Amino acid sequence: MRFGRNKLNPTSVGARSRSRSASTPVRGLVALVAAAAPATAQDPSLEQRVQQLEQQNAELQRRLGAVAEEIEGFRLRDIVPGVGESRFGLGPAASKVYAKEQGLSIGGYGEVLFTQNSGATDVLDAQRLITYFGYKFSDRWVFNSEIEFEHGSTGGGGTVAIEFAYVDYLWREELAFRAGFLLMPMGLVNELHEPISFLPASRPQTETRIIPSTWREIGAGIFGEAGGFAYKLFGVGGLDGEDFSDAGIRGGRQSGARAQADDFAAVARLDWVGTDGLLLGASAYHGDAGQDHLDGAVRITDMSTTVVDVHAEYRTGPWVLRGLYATAVVEDAGTFNTRTGANLARRMQGWYVEGGVDVLALAGRETRQALTPFVRYEQVDTQAWMPGGFAPVRARDNEILTVGLNWKPIEQIVFKFDYERWIRGDDRANVLMGFVF
């Protein structure tokens, strides 16, 4: 909600009317005195008092105008400002605190999803409700956080979780510092996952299984931008390899929940951002995931884990094109399987390409709406390369073709309609309503 300037602007028609009506009694008094007394015998002291009243009235009007301008300046958008641009790789709503001069920032997003499954029960899901709370202490010190409510209720399988909560020290554009509960700066979706930021209803499987989004750990590091490049480098708590499986490494996320900290990791990202509309880069994660777990009296493995991705996105006019390749390698997967009975792959991989075009913009229509047909093709295999003596689970190698329509009646609200064709697995039709603020 925005308050128009004409409602409280002292120069508006209503304000001018109030100004004239407020001064009418004084002017009437002057006219009455002038008519009642001979022109040659007016009381000088009375004229002085009338002039003084006129001056006081003018000063009162000036002060009322100043108060009106102050009220006009205090708008709802100063408390909850509109969604602006992305900053430091985060979504527009998650970036709002950086646009504040000082003080509290509130934002968020939500998703409600209907999925029709060809071989299973159809589902209605209050999938996510997210709130962002940030506070800008000064030009350099910033706190930012994301709190997630998933699947409607903790009593029905839903969760409440902190997605990130960190403090930045923005020393300069080329070098800033961050510490706290951090999103891993990997891929296209893990940091920038608001529903207006990608076209289909669902996030890519590659950025769910290979890059185990939403992936966050406690840590600290540096970030910045120079010469057309943006970078991030963080030291973080390691994964917990005990929960790796044939489905990938997603189960090893510790998510700041009394995380085991015998093993640590490093994560780095480098992007070219020097061309308008183009993002081109890579990211990498490396660290042990053994966390000193014991099988009897023997340490299971170090479980050195590496995740690497290369990614690209190009937005030009009505067109959106994006793609990503990711691979994860777990050393000692064979030893881990032998000692635990798991069927973990030594290497897993996935990739996808996605494109869409806003047909309203393509047709030259001037409108706030966007209507974007899209297609995404994806291959993902969490058992791409097995250690000796272990066979892959064929169902973990899949191809998914998604076609659909993305409609934004305004920038901050989106409706998505798509169909997913799975080579191995149930096909799905999705309808999603999402919003950001």
30 has pLDDT over 50: no
In this structure, the answer to whether residues 342 and 310 fall within a common structural domain is yes
Residues in Cβ contact with 278 at an 8 Å cutoff, skipping those fewer than 6 apart: 272, 312, 313, 314
pLDDT of residue 139: 96
SS3 call for 282: strand
Residue 308 has pLDDT above 80, yes or no: yes
pLDDT band at 170 (very low <50, low <70, confident <90, very high): very high
Query: Based on the domain organization, do 216 and 339 belong to the same domain?
Result: yes
91 CB-side CA count, 13 A: 29
Reduced DSSP (H G I as helix, E B as strand, rest coil) percent helix, strand, coil of the chain, to 5: 20, 45, 35
What pLDDT is attached to residue 43? Answer: 56
Indicate whether 63 and 159 sit together in one domain.
no
Q: Do residue 190 and residue 326 come from a single domain?
A: yes
List all residues 6 or more positions away from 138 whose beta carbon is below 8 Å from its beta carbon.
102
Are the C-beta atoms of 178 and 234 separated by less than 8 Å? Answer: yes
Same domain, 71 and 89: no
Do 350 and 207 share a structural domain?
Answer: yes
Regarding whether 121 and 63 lie in a shared domain, the answer is no
Q: Are residues 119 and 169 in the same domain?
A: yes
Final residue belonging to a domain, choices 76, 103, 123: 76
Closest of 188, 181, 185, 196 to residue 110, by C-alpha: 196
* Average per-residue pLDDT for the chain: 87
- Residue 54: its pLDDT value, please? 80
Query: 82: pLDDT confidence band, cut at 50, 70 and 90?
Result: low
Give the range of the structural domain holding residue 33, as residue numbers without chain letter: 5-76
Same domain, residue pair 95 and 166: yes
Q: How many domains does the chain have?
A: 2
The domain that holds 426 is classified in CATH as: 2.40.160.10
Question: Confidence class of residue 57 from pLDDT cuts 50, 70 and 90?
Answer: confident
Confidence of residue 68 (pLDDT cuts 50, 70, 90): low
Task: Report DSSP letters for 396-424, one per residue.
Answer: GEEEEEEEEEEEEEETTEEEEEEEEEESS
Q: Which of 46, 76, 106 is the last residue of a domain?
A: 76
pLDDT band with cut points at 50, 70 and 90 for residue 55: confident
Average pLDDT over residues 161-177: 97
Asked if residue 401 and residue 316 are part of one domain, the reply reads: yes
The token pair at 377 is 């093709």
> What does the pLDDT look like over 186-243, one tens digit per residue?
999 999 999 999 999 999 999 999 999 999 999 999 999 999 999 999 999 999 999 9
Are both 37 and 168 inside the same structural domain? no
Is the N-terminal amide bond of 367 cis, ω within 30° of 0?
no
Q: Which of 28, 45, 76 is the last residue of a domain?
A: 76
Computed on alpha carbons and rounded to an integer, the radius of gyration of the chain in Å comes to: 30
**Whether residue 70 is found in the same domain as residue 90:** no
Query: DSSP states of 249-275 as a string?
Result: SGGG--TTSS---SSEEEEEEEEE--S
Helix (H, G, I), strand (E, B) or coil at 169: strand
Query: What torsion do the CA atoms of 253, 257, 261, 267 make, to the nearest 10 degrees?
Result: 40
Owner of token pair 């997913």 = 420
